[in-house]
Amino acid sequence: MPNALIVWGGWNGHEPEECSRIVKEMLIKDGFDVRVEASTAAFSDEVLSTVDLVVPIVTMSTIAKEEVRALTQAVQSGVGLAGFHGQMGDSFRDAVDYQFMVGGQWVAHPGDVIDYKVDVTRPDDPIMAGIESFPYHSEQYYMHVDPSNEVLATTTFTGEHASWIDGVTMPVVWKRRHGKGRVFYSSLGHVAAEFENLSMRTILRRGLNWATRQAA
């Protein structure tokens, strides 16, 4: 049975505790043994040595240097990392080692909560199988992203809320490697209610499973 660690906290506007309950239920249905913690103190060598997947659900906040070191080294050794929206893509803004591992960092969401389109760019990937491009109502994330990411879905900005980014195509879903570890990220999921969107939920669920540490 794979083991997952969910750590929630940070800005309450992203409803981290409620989102952690939803993700926990998803993982349990997929056969995971799930541990949930409300402090980054859980990112220790001792704890991380026992898990196959880490799901950070922490927007902004801070993290101790030894906790970042333990987490990044665990992923480099093969532990999986997966998450969504600002709960993983805007965590620990001063921790560049964490951002290097994630493959991106949120910088803006012009217009705040708006209607936009998510374009599936890799329908051949198992994470995206059977999912067609779909409309979405949420924050449209503008991010600084690593060019080595394997991008599975994108969105294109219209320029309505920031004219200078008209036509810019931005990754929404990606996967990558960090050492031996698998890393998955989706920028969808501003609040818990967005898990009711089947495409969003399916993409994240598959991404969680893909990222999980692989059996030797």
- Enumerate the domain spans of the chain: 3-211
Residue appearing with tokens 């505790």: 17
The reported pLDDT for the residue numbered 56 is 98
Does the pLDDT of residue 214 top 90, yes or no?
no
Does the pLDDT of residue 88 top 80, yes or no?
yes
The reported pLDDT for the residue numbered 216 is 59
Tell me the average pLDDT across 80-86: 98
The reported pLDDT for the residue numbered 75 is 98
Question: 161: how many CB neighbours lie within 10 A of its CB?
Answer: 14
CATH 3.40.50.2020, applies to 3-211: no
Pair 54, 212: CB distance under 8 Å: no
Which tens digits make up the pLDDT trace of 8-66? Answer: 999 999 999 999 999 999 999 999 999 999 999 999 999 999 999 999 999 999 999 99
pTM of the model as a whole: 0.98
Helices (H) and strands (E) in the chain, counts: 6, 11
Q: Which residues contact 214 (CB under 8 A, 6 or more apart)?
A: 78, 182
Pair 68, 92: CB distance under 8 Å: yes
Which tens digits make up the pLDDT trace of 117-133? Answer: 999 999 999 999 999 99
Pair 141, 105: CB distance under 8 Å: no
Which tens digits make up the pLDDT trace of 160-183? Answer: 999 999 999 999 999 999 999 999
* Tokens encoding 178: 């960090």
Strand order of the β-sheet with 134-139 is: 33-37, 3-10, 53-59, 80-84, 181-186, 169-178, 150-156, 113-120, 134-139
Average pLDDT, the chain: 97
Does the pLDDT of residue 77 top 80, yes or no?
yes
The reported pLDDT for the residue numbered 215 is 67
